Structures are given as structure tokens and as C-alpha cells.
Chain A
Amino acid sequence: MEDVVAYMPLVLEGFWVTIFLSVTSLGVSVLIGIFGALASLSGPIFLRRVVGVYVMLVRGIPDLVLMLLLFFGGQKLLNDVGYWLGLWDYVDLSKFTVGILTIGFIFGAYMTETFRGGLLAIDRGQVESARAVGMGRVILFRRVIWPQLVFYSLPSFSNNWMVLMKTTALVSVIGLNDVVYNSFVAGRAVRDTFTFLFVAMVFYLILSALSDGAFALVNRYYCAWSTSGERR
């Protein structure tokens, strides 16, 4: 037990890395998701194809494979391209960047689907009538599109976040010192892997519970007008 206390700072450091990584990659994925959804709904045919291939690729390749490919392959590709073009010297992609980019890239595809579904679910007539009463683009978005977009995409969004948070555990495979990696290292050091991995697991459970609570609040705010109460 003293070992657990002694190594707690290390594990806690991993906690923050995991949380930071999750939140930043969520940001990346939301950005990609918004662009992807807009492109696949109202972009030129070429862009729609690109988005289609992107979503299909992410669905077809496991996250860990993509991460390793980007971590080892992306590094080499970047340097080779720089060498051939003579534009830049050796660039070192940090594990952190690769982690954020990969997870953001993967969940960008799922977010694209989420937002696309949310936008498609909004009744066209409402947009038309908002235009008819003279709403500008900004007010149209704020009063008509945004509340409904949140309402329709929240269940899928919260699900994506839950999966994303758990996917960040994979960065420990490329040696990024997240909670799993640090717990494992600490566990190895004191020959008590079980306890430390258990601590890491409890950490994820707490994070899930907190997110559940947060989403319940958002849900109550944005879905209050729904007659069915909660939309699940």
C-alpha cells in the first residue's frame, strides 16, 4: 500500500496527460467532424468522395494500426518528403502530437457522421420559414440550427466521447506516458502491476461517471423542449 502512495504522483501525472490528450483530440475531431459534415452535405462532389473514403478507411482500419502507422510511418514519410524537396531537415514528431492527430483523425470520421445525421434531422421547412421571416445567417444558426443540432447529435456525440476517452489508452503502446503507461511502469517497479492497473481502471471509471453526469446536464438543458424528455 505504501508503494501505491509513493508512486501516486507518477500515476497522477499520467491522469493529466490522459485528460489533456482526450480533450485536445476531441477538439481536433470536432473540427474535422464539422468540416466533414459540411463537405459531405453541401460540398462539391469531389470533396464528398474524399469524405466518403475517409470515413470508410477509418471504419475499416483499427485505431491501433492507424496510430502505429502514423507514428512510425508518418515520421519517416515527413522526413523523406523533406529530404527530397530539400525544404526541411529532420523533424521529430512528438508522441503527443501523433497521439492527438491519430485520435482526432479517427474520431473526426465518427464526428462527421454524428454531425451529418444531426444536420439531416433538422426539418428543412424550419430553415425555409426562418429565412422567410427574415432571419440572417447568424440568427438562423443560433436560434434554429444550433439548438436542434445539439439535440439530435448529443446521444451520438456523448457516445463518441466515451469511446474516444477509452481509445486514448492506446497511446501507451507508442510510449506516451499516459495513465496506463505510468501505472504499468510503477507496477513493474514495485512488482505490483495488478494494483496499479486497477487504479488506472478506476480512473477511467470515474472519468466515465463524470462524463455521464455532465452529459445528463447538457441533455437536460438542450432537450428540455422535447416531449419525450430524454432522447436516447
Chain B
Amino acid sequence: MEERSWVEWFEQASTNDWPLDVWLILLHWELFAMGLLNTILLVSLSLFFGGILAVVLALVRTYRLPVLSEFVWLLTYVERGSPLLVQLYLIYYGLSQFVFVRESILWVILGNAWWCALIAFSLNTAAYTSEIIRGGIKSIPRGEIEAAKACGMSVWSQLRSVILPRGFRYALPAYGNEVIFMIHSSAVVSTITVIDILGAGRTLNGKYYVVYEGFLMAALLYIVVIFITTKFMKGWERRWLDFLVR
């Protein structure tokens, strides 16, 4: 009962007299919390899956595996050369027109906007990250890899104890940018009905017919998320690249 009266008080305070209706935002904190959770989940899961895929793709390209390498080149080119929005639409709206997709077991995943977004994001970030990792591996001094070979390391142990650890360290600063970029581009899921941070803002604006409140709150939340992520990545860099700082 006590809680009810608070809500009523909020609603009374929420008027259009102010240029910015702060109470309206506070009243819908659950909506924004859900949006925040969705954004964080989507971005972190796609960074996780995309990251794993990226390592594989980068290795295929570095070792120039026949046929596979060309295929990966094409995939990266397409993913990096076209907007994420189009990729997302293609997966969500495009694939659903085929009857065999709708009737197959895949429909459980492809019929759901959230999963489509996860697939599109994972592939996209995998393409970008694989190029970053490839660049990192390329900048390892040749001598180190030759030394590893001279020690008689197998390809697997070269990878495990020389190439990947060194390559990841060289790739880390660029990867930080990719993470921020991923958070930026994750806002496009709001166009396919997923309630992420921007989706929450759009819902609020649509429901109450206001223009600033939802978007400003969304912008604020994004700034906070990106600020924390930047700090986190800087910390990670300090930890991993300590040996480079003289």
C-alpha cells in the first residue's frame, strides 16, 4: 500500500510543466534496467562468441589454409564492407521469407529477434576482430617465431605459448576500440523490436508521446556503459602491456 502511494505521488509530480519530465523516467526505471541488461547481454555474448570465431578465422588467414582462407577473406570482406543494419535486416527479415527456414528446427532461433541480433553481431565482430588479431600476429617480430621453431616446438605449442599470447597483446589496443564500437552499433537492435537501452527510450517516447526523455536517458546510460568499458579496457591494457612500458 505504501509503495502504491509513492507511485501515485510520482505520477502527480510527473507533469508537462517542466521541459524535462524526470519523474517519468524514474517511474519507468524497470524498462531501462531491462534495456541495459539486454544491451549488456547482447554485447558481451556476441563479443564472446565472435571472439572465439575470430581467433579461428585469424589463424586460417595467417596460415593461408587453401580454399578456407579465400572463403574467410570473402566473409570478412562482406561483413566489414556492409552496414550492420543491413546484415541484421538480412538475417531477421530476409531469412524468414523462406519456407524451408520457417519449417526447419532453426526457426526456433531465427524466428526470434534477439537470437538473430546475437548471430548478426557475433559474425560482425568476428570479422573485425579477426583482422585485428591477424594484424597483431603480423606485428610479432619474426625472430620470436623462428626461435620457437628452432627450439623444436610443435605448431600447437608455438601457437599456445608464443604466437597467440604475443598476438593478443599487440591486438589489445585496437580491440578496445572494437568493443566500444560494438556497444555503439548494438543500438540498431532497437529497430527489430528488441528492447535494448535505445529500445527502452523509444518505448517510453512512443508510449507518452514525448521526445527528449527516453532518448536522453538512453544517451546517458550509453555514456556510463562506455565510460566503464573504456576504464576496464585501459586496466586490461595496463595489465597485459606492462612489459612494453618503460
Interface residues of A (CB under 8 A from B): 57, 59-66, 68-69, 72-73, 75-76, 80, 166-170, 172-173, 180, 184, 187, 191-194, 197-198, 200-201, 204-205, 208-209
| 18 chain-A/chain-B pairs, Cβ below 8 angstroms | A60-B223, A65-B218, A65-B222, A68-B198, A68-B202, A68-B215, A72-B215, A76-B211, A76-B212, A170-B83, A170-B188, A173-B188, A173-B191, A187-B94, A193-B93, A197-B86, A204-B86, A208-B82
Question: Is B69 engaged at the interface, CB distance under 8 Å to the other chain?
Answer: no
Contacts of A57 in B (CB 8 A): 223
Secondary structure class of chain A's binding surface, majority of residues: helix
In the complex, the answer to whether A61 meets B97 with C-beta atoms within 8 Å is no
For the residues of B in contact with A, the DSSP-based class is: helix
Q: In the assembled complex, which residues on chain B have CB atoms less than 8 Å from the CB atom of A192?
A: 97
With a cutoff of 8 Å between Cβ atoms, the chain B residues found around residue A200 in the complex are 86
A62 engages B83 (CB within 8 Å): no
Chain B neighbourhood of A166, CB < 8 A: 82-84
- What sequence of 0s and 1s flags, for each residue 194-224 of chain B, a beta carbon within 8 Å of any chain A beta carbon? 0000100110010000011001101100110
Binary interface profile of B, 82-102, with partner A (CB < 8 Å = 1, else 0)?
111111011001110110000
Known: A64-B190, A76-B211. A193 touches B183 (CB 8 A): no
Q: Is the CB of A169 within 8 A of B180?
A: no
A61 and B85 within 8 A (CB): no
Give bound CA distance, A10 to B208, whole Å.
Answer: 35
Task: Check B98 against A205 for contact (C-beta < 8 Å).
Answer: no
Q: From the candidates A63, A65, A194, name the one contacting B90 in the complex (CB within 8 A).
A: A194
**5 closest cross-chain pairs (CB), A and B:** A194-B94, A169-B83, A208-B81, A60-B223, A62-B187
Using known A-B contacts A63-B184, A68-B202, determine if residue A193 contacts B97 with beta carbons closer than 8 Å.
yes
Task: Please give 8 more A-B residue pairs, beta carbons under 8 A apart, in addition to A168-B83, A191-B97, A194-B97.
Answer: A61-B219, A62-B184, A65-B219, A68-B201, A69-B215, A180-B83, A193-B93, A208-B80
Given contacts A169-B85, A184-B89, are A62 and B183 in contact (CB under 8 A)? yes
Do A72 and B89 form a contact, CB below 8 Å, given A59-B226, A198-B94?
no
Give the distance to chain A from B50, nearest Cβ to Cβ, in Å: 18
Query: Are A180 and B187 in contact, with the CB atoms below 8 A?
Result: no
